[in-house]
Amino acid sequence: MKKKDELKYYEEIKDWDFDKFEIESETLTDWNFFKLINELSNKDSRILDLGTGGGEKVLEFYPQCKEILGTDFSEGMIETANKNLKKSGRKNITFRIMDNLNMDVPEEYFDIVTARNTVTDPKQIYRCLKKDGYLILHGVDKYDCWSLQKEFGRGQGYNDSRAISIIDYENILDAGFKDVELVPIYDREFFKSKELFKEFLKKVPIIDDFSEEFGDNKDYYTDDLEEDLLDSYIEKNTYNGKIKLLRRYYGIIAKK
């Protein structure tokens, strides 16, 4: 996607919270991003989190280790993260602005680098990791919400010939990492009403028509949804009064 459009999108959503959508989630895959971070770290670990957003996940789920740095290229997101940090009272975490593709961090400094649903450059990550350090990555796969994308005939990576999970996997191997594991992750999400589901789709890029493979996009941020297509999907995917969305992510863990 184009950087200027992506930056505008994240500046616009800097203060919103998933909790308001009242999503009920069910995990179908035994691969837990946050559990891995806690298992692989200790009190002396230094962790870098790329694409940290508002910092909520870092503040809630990351360990009490020596140092955690959360970075994001959106100034608005980092402002939100620092507000959340102040409320949390945690002392081992800092947040600052940084572009994942132009990383300005010390070489061979971090024990773990994490990234969730964000673009990365594995070669730059490799350089900033200590020997035997870990990269732990969580991403959105091409077939995420596939039945919804099929209904609308568009979506994130919908027309890509190669899934972003495979591209990331190959780039991580090419950067020199060893013991690289790629795991498909499946979740179910349930929404209590059409109104909540519709507002959710306006805030996330699931059915916005852009390419993960080539980085170009048309309309990244969706303001309007075709009501007939939305109603058709809801009719086919409502169970016990709740609207189901099948999520497909991927996890990668690799060692330097």
What tokens appear for 32 in the block?
């837990």
Instruction: Report whether pLDDT(65) > 50.
Output: yes
Position 223 scores a pLDDT of 59
Instruction: Report whether pLDDT(11) > 70.
Output: no
Could you tell me the pLDDT band of residue 156, with boundaries at 50, 70 and 90? confident
Helix (H) or strand (E) holding 67: strand 67-72
Instruction: Report whether pLDDT(61) > 50.
Output: yes
Torsion angles phi and psi, residue 216, rounded to 5: -100, 160
3 state SS of 160? coil
Instruction: Report whether pLDDT(242) > 70.
Output: yes
Spell out the residues 6+ positions from residue 32 whose beta carbon is closer than 8 angstroms to its own: none
Helix (H) or strand (E) holding 89: none
Could you tell me the pLDDT band of residue 18, with boundaries at 50, 70 and 90? low
Share of the chain above pLDDT 90, in %: 77
Instruction: Report whether pLDDT(15) > 70.
Output: no
Instruction: Report whether pLDDT(127) > 90.
Output: yes
Total count of domains within the chain: 1
Report the range of poorest mean pLDDT among 12-26, 89-103, 125-139, 241-255.
12-26
Position 224 scores a pLDDT of 72
pLDDT, mean of residues 5-30: 70
Range of the domain at 164: 3-255
pLDDT, mean of residues 109-130: 97
Query: Average pLDDT of the chain?
Result: 90
Nearest Cα to Cα of residue 136 among 66, 208, 34: 34
What tokens appear for 227 in the block?
């009501």
CATH number at residue 130: 3.40.50.150
- At position 117, the amino acid (one-letter code) is N
Distance CA 166, CA 171 (A): 8
Nearest Cα to Cα of residue 188 among 147, 160, 219: 147
Rounded to 5°, the CA angle 121-166-54 comes to 50
Position 16 scores a pLDDT of 52
Could you tell me the pLDDT band of residue 209, with boundaries at 50, 70 and 90? confident
Going 197 to 33 to 211 to 186, the CA torsion angle's sign is negative
Instruction: Report whether pLDDT(124) > 90.
Output: yes
pLDDT, mean of residues 201-213: 80
What tokens appear for 234 in the block?
């809801």
Share of the chain above pLDDT 70, in %: 89
The structure's pTM equals 0.87
Tell me which DSSP letter residue 210 carries.
B
Report the range of poorest mean pLDDT among 7-11, 14-18, 88-92, 139-143.
7-11
Position 221 scores a pLDDT of 47
Residue that has been written with the tokens 């009501």 in this structure: 227
Position 12 scores a pLDDT of 53
Instruction: Report whether pLDDT(23) > 80.
Output: yes
